[in-house]
Amino acid sequence: MKCPFCGASDTTVADTRLSEDGDIVRRRRRCLSCERRFSTHERAEIRLPRVVKKNGSRVDFDREKLSASLWLALRKRQVTIEVVDAAILRIEETLLTQGEREIQSEKIGEMVMRELKKIDKVAYVRFASVYRNFEDVDKFSDLVKEVSRPAPRKFQ
């Protein structure tokens, strides 16, 4: 590791600690040339699949775009940041566990709709109406009826 102060490549690790959640390793280092101390933070690099858009172009997965889409659908709804962050994490975990290098944007849209349906039915209808690009009122009405039905009871 190069010293950020003098550029020397001879540094030594003085202390190593894990973050509270164990995801990040913090190392306290000392430069052997200038004797100054500095910290480094190590995190595992996780590769999410590239997104194949409807027009065939490929882009990197963008967590911020996903978050913005969820928040747009949830605008003026009483939903906490923690709930939305958990939904984003579930979507990312699903993408990681699939192990694919690429994913169709439509599949991500379906994942978002599933999460919104669990979080807030109004937000689900908002997102679905734009995402599915309804051409007539009947299809929109069917969607509203679908979320208005009570969930089937499970007997144990």
Same domain, 35 and 56: no
Q: Please report the pLDDT score of residue 150 as a whole number.
A: 65
**3 falls within a domain:** no
Residue 84's identity, in one-letter code, is V
**Cα separation of 112 and 152, whole Å?**
22
In a domain, 1, yes or no: no
Residue 153: is its pLDDT beyond 70? Answer: no
Taking 90 as the threshold, does the pLDDT of residue 11 lie above it? yes
**What confidence tens digit (pLDDT) does each residue in 102-139 have?**
999 999 999 999 999 999 988 988 888 777 766 666 66
- Same-domain pairing of 30 and 62: no
Residues 58 and 116 in one domain: yes
User: Are 30 and 66 part of one and the same domain?
Assistant: no
Class of residue 70 by CB neighbours under 10 A (exposed 0-12, middle 13-18, buried 19+): buried
**pLDDT at residue 140 in the model:** 62
> What are the φ/ψ torsions at residue 102 (nearest 5 degrees)?
-140, 155
Same domain assignment for residues 39 and 84: no
Same domain, 33 and 65: no
Give the per-residue pLDDT at 7.
94
- Higher pLDDT: 85 or 131? It is 85
pLDDT, one tens digit per residue, over 47-64 is 899 999 999 999 999 999
**Residues 118 and 79 both lie in one domain:** yes
**What is the tally of structural domains in the chain?**
2
Q: Is residue 66 part of a domain?
A: yes
**Using a CB cutoff of 8 Å and minimum separation of 24, what contacts does 53-60 make?**
53/105, 54/105, 54/106, 58/102
Return the closest-CA partner of residue 48 out of 84, 93, 88, 90. Answer: 93
Judge contact between 96 and 46, C-beta under 8 A: yes
Q: Same domain for 96 and 126?
A: yes
104 and 142 share one domain: yes
End-to-end alpha carbon distance in the chain: 59
Identify the domain containing residue 82 by its residue range: 50-148
**Closest Cα to residue 116, out of 65, 150, 51, 69?**
69
- Name 99's Cβ contacts closer than 8 Å, sequence gap at least 6: none
* pLDDT tier at 26, thresholds 50, 70, 90: very high
pLDDT at 42 over 80: yes
Q: Are residues 71 and 15 in the same domain?
A: no
| Domain co-membership, 127 together with 71 | yes
Average the pLDDT over 85-107 and give the result. 93
